[in-house]
Structure 1
Amino acid sequence: MSDETEFIAAKNASTDGEFVRDATYINDRVVKGLEPGSDPVGEKIGEMRWPVEAGRYRLMAARACPWASRSIIVRRLMGLEDAISMGLAGPTHDINSWVFDLDPDGRDPVTGLHRLQEAYFNRIPDYPRGITVPALVDLPTNAVVTNAYQKLNFDMLSEWTDFHRDGAPDLYPEAHRDEIDELDSWIYPTVNNGVYRCGFAAEQGAYEKAYDELWASLDRLEERLATRRYLVGETITAADIRLFTTLVRFDAVYHGHFKANRSKITEMPALWGYLRDLFQTPGFGDTCDFPQIKEHYYNVHRDVNPTGIVPKGPDLAGLLTPHHREELGGSPFGSGTAPGPIAEPSERVPAGHRAE
């Protein structure tokens, strides 16, 4: 959903001013074992199973959104570009929907959609909840299959294996799944969602509670990453992707816009080195568009920033400076390989939109 919609829902749902994220999604899955071209199996939306089928689905995303950025990174690291195409919405929108205003005539070139909302209505007329990215759209019907980002990402890792590139990494290794899930159990509410709980708090007490929990967790992560290159094991995992999309937005957006301002990530040595390490890894920094990220938060969140003025800073060139994290051991992809250059011109972040 748009963050404006989330904020309105939060004010209605909470009696103490705390931001409450609407986490109700269309939980359909795309799985192996079903005949390509077949209809989904199941009778209830949210519990249906769709067949893995190259070319059938389009990932609708927005570089501005951290949840969508996770899916963009997973798709690129696993080499699923030829199997699952991608449409990119622009960074600003109204309360109704993300809009494909980056494309000619304001329409996604594959689906012809102007608003992502149309794909939701094609599946559920007058869909009553927020219009979120990422969303997977069924091209034959132009209807949303799922917007449950965590399950969507898991399916790209575990169900689309026949279409993974040679050398694709194991981002959710069996030996570390419990540890990855345990980390997510506190990083998600206090860090990923914690910055939103700070920014959208409607009462001082709710803000201070979220702020304290955020910094307790960031201090905990700073200590953890002082002695290890990645969050879990010796290679990049899903845990790193989940944390990266928050950290890379922190100094540019969350520090000021969301009042998460005890410190900047550049002032925390381990987290700053870790962020630079990931940013310089193919699949991470090359998917980040900072003007879009800043325009989204500062322009769309008029409850937080009434003027809509987008700050010129900060200088993000430091993301490209040496990090020396390789001295801690490990390697980004283990026995796998890095993804190659982005082949599709429309998926490349424009020059001047990166940390240059």
Structure 2
Amino acid sequence: MELRTAILSDLVKHKEMGILQSEIESHFGFSRAHVSETLSILVSEGKVIERMEGKLLKRVWLTEFYPYPISGTIRIAMLASSEYVPFLASALSVCAENKITLRFRILKSAYDVMDSLISGSSEIALAPFYSQIVYSIVTRKIKILSSIASGGSSVFTNEESLQSNIGTSDTSTMILLSRTFMKSLEKNVEVYDDPHSAIASFESGKLKFITIWEPFCTVLRKKGKYMEQLKYEEALGDIPCCASSYRINASAADGKLFREIVNEYGKLIKDGMTSTKLGEAIEIMSKEMGIQQEIISESLKSYRFLEGVDRELLMRYMDVLKIPVSMSSIEDMFP
């Protein structure tokens, strides 16, 4: 295997841990000079980042997994959801104004998104409120920046399926919606990470029910053959589905930039989604998710976009989660 390919493949496996250059040399059996030359090329291409550990050791990471701040760059981790389009548009706008490079990653699960934030490989996490709250309480290392939206998810039924099970993502609002619909999650629950494969299982009859979010709800509605049994707002009302968050050890400069993004997001919501960056954000998400831009644009109508966080509403959400918590603990989740 070519050394370049071998290094990149191995770095994917090691994620935020990275690899020592000496480990690359010993593991793949190449000379120090050849490894150094290959790494220099990868660094110049922006694919990897190197960092000295002490005076002699050098550790290497894929840029997307680098667990330290990158000068002039803000990284956002998120799930594959059209709910994040307006926030992404706001981030694109603010970063362009400040000549900041914006990188983003769409990850498979809420766990992955939140772990990315905690590890340092992302500055902002866009994830279900459920996950944000759990990580905030358990780690005490993150602060919730803003709400994103409520609504935008539903339970669908495939009447032709002979099964009695439901497909849902885990550690997310989907699991709450599934619990409301099924009454119990003790059996007949199939947890998925990939919404595309989950929809394929649903349409083939392997799943009787599916709890899914936008833009995948719009995809199923347009099929015209699946019954929409329960909508988010019918089960959870105005409780926010998702939120944005950041690490408490963020720099003052980053904190200022985050506030600018949230202010821009609030302005975008109030102005009726008229940002020039909205189309760019839709195009980006379309390519990443493999969903037509028209579908993503239409799916935005399913959400009630929010900026602030109502503390009393959040207390009600904690009751839904069955997590006993004081108002002071809730206040600690915010800057």
**TM-score normalised by length of structure 1:** 0.32
Q: Which structure is larger by alpha-carbon Rg, 1 or 2?
A: 2
Greater per-residue helix proportion: 2
Greater RCO, CA 8 A, separation 6+: 2
Greater per-residue strand proportion: 2
